């Protein structure tokens, strides 16, 4: 249920829209661990009750603070429903450009993506 709640927040989906999205998206089902051959997606009412339970116990903010801290530790951050890897710095410990470190840019050197 917690992973479903994350999807709802990350993709800004209403309860019914979330339920539909889970049925439509194999990636979402894989993330939350639901196999439609053996179980059903929680209905909108169940999702709403879970959200209210989190709010009642003031857990939403604490949970997202922990998740965001964990993502930052791994060099990741959350932007509009997409997890993005932070680009590594090309500067060395002295904050100078390091000739050994290189950045790549999409579309350069014949690569188009």
113: in domain: no
78: in domain: yes
Q: Distance (Å, rounded) from C-alpha 42 to C-alpha 60?
A: 19
Prediction pTM value: 0.60
What pLDDT does residue 74 have? 87
pLDDT score of 107 more than 90: no
**DSSP H or E segment with residue 99:** none
104: in domain: no
What's the structural domain count of the chain? 1
107: in domain: no
Report which of 80, 82, 83, 99 is spatially closest to residue 91, judged by C-alpha positions: 99
Q: Distance (Å, rounded) from C-alpha 5 to C-alpha 49?
A: 11
pLDDT score of 21 more than 60: yes
What pLDDT does residue 30 have? 94
Read off the pLDDT of residues 35-75 as tens digits, 9 standing for 90 and up. 999 999 999 899 999 999 999 998 988 888 888 888 888 88
Q: Distance (Å, rounded) from C-alpha 16 to C-alpha 26?
A: 17
What pLDDT does residue 45 have? 92
9: in domain: yes
Expressed as residue numbers, the domain containing 47 is 2-85
């Amino acid at each position: 249920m917690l992973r479903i709640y994350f999807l709802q927040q990350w993709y800004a989906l209403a309860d019914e829209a979330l339920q539909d999205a889970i049925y439509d998206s194999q990636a979402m089902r894989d993330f939350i661990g639901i196999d439609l051959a053996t179980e059903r997606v929680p209905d909108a009412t169940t999702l709403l009750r879970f959200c209210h339970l989190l709010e009642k116990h003031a857990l939403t903010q604490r949970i997202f603070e922990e998740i965001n801290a964990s993502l930052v530790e791994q060099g990741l951050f959350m932007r509009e429903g997409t997890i993005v890897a932070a680009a590594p710095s090309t500067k060395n410990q002295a904050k100078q450009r390091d000739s050994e470190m290189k950045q790549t840019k999409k579309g350069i050197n014949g690569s188009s993506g």
